[in-house]
Each structure stands twice: as C-alpha cells, then as structure tokens.
Structure 1
C-alpha cells in the first residue's frame, strides 16, 4: 500500500513538473516576444515629489580606506539627509520568513532571486519598522529617520528606523 502511494506521488509530481516546465517555457517565449513591453516589475521606479530619489542615493561611491578597506563616499546632498525624516519608495526584500516583517531591506528594483541582492549598497536601505509590514511584490513608500552610514560592518550605506508605510 505504501509503495503504491509513493509511486502515485512520484507520477503526479513528474506530471506537475512537466506541466510547470511547459508553462515556464511558454511564459519565457511570451516574454521574449514582448521585449518592447516588459512586465511592470522590470520597469524602473519613477521619481515622486517629496520622496528621496534612488538617483540621488545612487550617487554614493566607494573609496579605499586604511588597510585596503572600502568605505562609502557621499555627496553633500546625500550627507544632508543624515538623521532626517524622509520618504523612500522601493521593493521589500524580507530578511526572515513570514508574511509580516519588521526588519527588511528596501531595494531600488524587485528581487529576482531570493538569495541575491538586486542592487549594490547604493540601491538598498535597511528598514527597521515601527510595526510589522505585510510582504508585497509591489513597490511602496516608507517614511522614517534615515541614517547615512559612514562605515557599516555589513557594508550597508543607508538605514531607516522607526519606519511606517505611507498610505497610497
């Protein structure tokens, strides 16, 4: 009885895998045929008045410090944001399992791999929110206190604390 049940699961699993493979190849060809009109999650975020632009945050560069260590170098416009209340728009990249997150990354582009950062340190803000935020694939706006990090041990450039979701 157990052997028949396992065999049935294997056959069903193989059928589901074949179906998923067929669906993936169909989706890939549909995407390849529509390269002039990519899905919205591939589109860059548009600047919104009153929201810090990723173009501005992206102007940070790295310089070699003592002992060959690389540290961020910020423009005066970026340094002026340090310890101020700002709004930032982006995509959630959870750091832990679960539908609601209090500590996560906000990124300039949507993540395409759960194990890879979708941007360099200039395209990521570490978020520590006041209350848990429900995961979403859609971009959203957060408001909180932004810290421009001089030499973070994890290599981060920006951190927002006491963050809250801005209603649409």
Structure 2
C-alpha cells in the first residue's frame, strides 16, 4: 500500500538509494565529511535557528531508531534492525521531530517527521533512519518548531520506497522542550 503522494515517493526513494550507494548526502558535502549510512539520524546544521532535539523521558529516542544498519543491494537498502527496535513494531510510541509536509496547506494529516530540521527546501534532512512517515487521525498544524506525536509504530523491513518507519493513528500532543 502506498502511503506517500505518488509524486514524492519515487523521488524520495531514488534520493535515499542513490545517497546510500554513493555514501554521501547531497547538499552536505560542504558541511561535513560524507556520513556512513546507518550511523546517525541526520545532520543538524549549526547555523539552524532551531536547537537540536533533547531526549525526553517517555519519548522514543532518535538514537535508538538510528541504530539500524543497512546492507546495500543492487536496487535497494536492506535494513538490519537491532532487537530493541524490532520490539517497537506495532507498539504505541511517542516521538518528537520536525515536520516535512507531504500535502498542501497549513494542516497536515500525512507528513514526514525528521530528527533534524530542514535546512534546504530541496533536500531530505536525514537518511531513512532519521525519518518517520506519519498518518494522523486529526490534522496537525504545520510548524517549523518541533512537534510531539503519539501513534502506532511500524518497523518496515521491506518498504517499496526505502522508508524504515511509519506511524499510524497519529495524534499531536503538546510539545514541551
């Protein structure tokens, strides 16, 4: 079942796969050495006006989600999830992050949640280990500030678009940094 808009998914999949196979992320070469896939949730640009997320009790840690490693196949990435991540599959979790809208408008029912803020409107800020596709019950007002969402997490071992995580039945909660 396709969850992302048909225009976004092929581009996202191609970007994630090409970056993984090339060992670098576009637009970041000037800022840091090429990251190793599976080694982190994304790059927080020090020039960003937004502070990096701080871990919070009761909120799923991006460091845990990014502990996945990958093996590159000819046409896709094969995620290898640690047991602690696999145990989260089909569990209700809370996760904080930055919204990347997938629909027009200021209220979103379908968006990506990123571990780091977007610093370029044409770039994906993190690899698949730093993104969660979210489907919310009620529309969530788009914000550049971090949001807190609760829902049922799916750990995806063979997603057609290269995503590793999906949150269903999402509900926005009051964010307290």
Aligned residue for 1:90?
Answer: 97
Say which structure, 1 or 2, has more relative contact order (CA 8 Å, 6+ apart): 2
Normalized against structure 2, the TM-score is what? 0.69
Normalized against structure 1, the TM-score is what? 0.73
CA pair 69-140 structure 1, distance change in 2 beyond 3 A:
closer
Q: Helix, strand or coil for the counterpart of 1:119? A: coil
Q: Helix, strand or coil for the counterpart of 1:105? A: strand
Shift >4 Å, 4+ stretches? 37-40
Structure 2 unaligned spans of 5+:
1-45
Which protein has the larger Cα radius of gyration, Structure 1 or Structure 2? 1
Shift of 1:115: 2.1
Spell out the pairing of 1:124-135 with structure 2 (5 A cutoff). Answer: 124-135=131-142
Shift of 1:99: 0.4
Whole-Å Cα distance in 2 between the matches of residues 157 and 59 of structure 1? 12
Shift of 1:116: 1.3
RMSD: 1.6
Whole-Å Cα distance in 1 between the matches of residues 164 and 70 of structure 2? 10
Structure 1 unaligned spans of 5+:
1-36
